[in-house]
Chains A and B, each alone.
Chain A
C-alpha cells in the first residue's frame, strides 16, 4: 500500500501539491485524474522519489520512500515518465535489459536475461527486439519502455500518462497489459491519465486532484458521477452505461 500523508510541494510561493493525503490500495489499478496543472504528475514523481517533497510523509509498504536507499527502492517501485524522448541509439532488447540494473548493476546473469526475455514476450516485441528505439513508432516505443519496467519486476508500477500520443488501438493494448499486470502478476499500478473513459473502464480506484488538493477519491462507480465530475472539470457531462461500463460524454 502507498500512503501519502499531508504532503506538500511548493515552487516559490505557489503550492503545486497542498497537504495531500491519500492511500493507494495494493494489487489494483489506481488512476490520478484531474484538470491540467492539478499536480497529478508532481504527486506521482514524489511517490517515486524523483522529486523531493516539502512537507509530509510518503510510505510504501510502511517504508519511508524519501529515506529508503534508492538502490533498494528501485526493486520495489518503477516509474515511467511521459517524456521519454531518447536520443541514444539502443535496441529494444538493450533498453529492456536496463530494467535489470537494480539487480545486476550492469552484469546480467542468466536469471536477469530470463526476465528480459519474458518482459519482451509480455509486450509482444519479440519480432523487433533488435530494432533501434529511434526506428519505432510511438506505440512500439511506449511498449518497449513498459517492457523495461516489467523487467524491473517491481511490485509498484507508476506511469505518467502512458497513453500520451497513442492511437486508440495502442491505447487499448497498453491498458490491457496494465490490467494483466495487476490480475496475473498481482502488481500495483498507478497511472496519471487524461482520458476519463479509459480511467473508468480500466481502473479499480480513482483519485481526482484539483488545484493541488484531492478533490474526491473513490471507486469507479462513486467517481463516474456527473456531479462529481462537474466539480472536478467544471463542464457538464452525461454518464451513460454501455456494456456495463460507465462512459462519460462531454464532447458537445
Chain B
C-alpha cells in the first residue's frame, strides 16, 4: 500500500465526514452557509473530524509502541488493561473530587492508566510462559478485573450511567469545548516520532539495546508514558475504542515491516482512515440515528482480529 493512497483516502473521507449529518450541508453551500450551518460546522462537524483523526492516530500509535516494547504483536491498550485503568482513574476522580475539572480528571486517570500499564509490564516480566496468545489473554483478564472494580464502585456511588459513557466510544458527543484535551496528544506524537528508532531497538530486547548503548529502561518508560497519556485522553474525550491499537499496527506490519521509522506514519494514517471510515458507516447505516464508534470499530475490528489470529502462522 502506498502512502499517497492513504493520504488521498484520508482527505476524501474527511470531506465526506464534514458533510454527513442530520443538518443538511452540501459542499456547494460552503461559500454561503446560513448561520445555523456555520454553527454546525464549527461547533460540531470540525471538532468531530479533528477528534476522530487524533483518536485514530494516537490509539494506533499507542498500540504500535506497546507491541514493540512488550515484544508481542497482540498487546495493545485494549489487551493490556491500559484503557480499563484509565477508566478506573476517571471514576476515582469523580468520586473523590466531585467537581473535578477535565484537566484534574485527566491527571488522575493518567496516573491510573500509567500505573496499570506498568503493572501489566511487570506481570509480563514475571510470566515464564511467553506464548503470543497467552499474554494478551492475561492482559484482558487484568483489564476485566479493573473494570469489575470500577463497576463495583460505580454502583456504590450511583455513577453507573456516567461510566457507561466512557464504556462505549462515541463521537456524537464531541462538540467544541469538550474535546480540546485531545490536542495534548499532538506533542506526544512528535515525541513518539523522535523516539521511533529507539523503540524498535528496545523491542529487540534489553541485551540487544544495551549492547548498542541505549538506556533501555528510560526508553521503555518514555514509551509507556506516551501510551498511557494518549489512551487516557481518548477515553476521556471520546470513550473506549476497542481493537484499534491492535489491528492497525498489525496490518501495517504485514506490508511495511516493523521498523518504526518506516511504519509510524503508515500506522498513523491508516488509524485515522479506519476510524473515519467506521464513523461514517456508523452515521449512515441507521440514518438519521447513529451507531456509536465503539460498536462499529468493535464489530469490524474483532472480525479483522480473528482473521489475523488465523493467518498468524502464515507470517510468523
Which A positions have Cβ atoms within 8 angstroms of B? 45, 48-50, 69-75, 78-81, 84, 86-91, 94, 98-99, 101-102, 105-106, 132, 134, 152
Contacts and interface: CB of A to CB of B under 8 A. Distances in A.
B207 A87 contact: no
Interface of B: 68, 71-73, 132, 196-198, 200-201, 203-204, 207-208, 210-215, 253, 257-259, 261-262, 315-316
A83 to B, nearest CB: 8
A89 B68 CA distance: 11
A101 B197 contact: yes
A98 B201 contact: yes
A74 B204 contact: no
Nearest to A81: B207
A128 B316 CA distance: 19
7 contacts: A50-B211, A74-B212, A87-B316, A88-B200, A90-B257, A90-B258, A98-B201
Most chain B CB inside 10 Å of its own CB: which residue of A69, A91, A98, A134: A98
Given A98-B201, A101-B201, A90 B213 contact: no
A88 B207 contact: no
Contacts of A79: 207, 211
A45 B207 CA distance: 9
B204 A88 contact: yes
Contact of A134 (B68, B197, B316): B316
B204 A86 contact: yes
Contacts, number: 73
B239 to A, nearest CB: 32
B197 A106 contact: yes
A87 B259 contact: no
A48 B211 contact: yes
Contacts of A50: 207, 210-211
Given A50-B211, A88-B204, A134-B315, 15 more contacts: A70-B214, A71-B213, A74-B211, A74-B213, A87-B71, A87-B73, A88-B258, A89-B315, A90-B200, A90-B259, A94-B259, A102-B213, A106-B198, A132-B257, A152-B211
Given A86-B204, A88-B258, A89-B253, A49 B214 contact: no
Nearest to B255: A89
B269 to A, nearest CB: 19
Given A89-B253, A132-B257, A98 B207 contact: no
A152 B210 CA distance: 13
Nearest to B209: A101
Contact of B210 (A70, A87, A89): A70
B60 to A, nearest CB: 17
A231 B76 CA distance: 53
Contacts of A89: 253, 257-258, 315
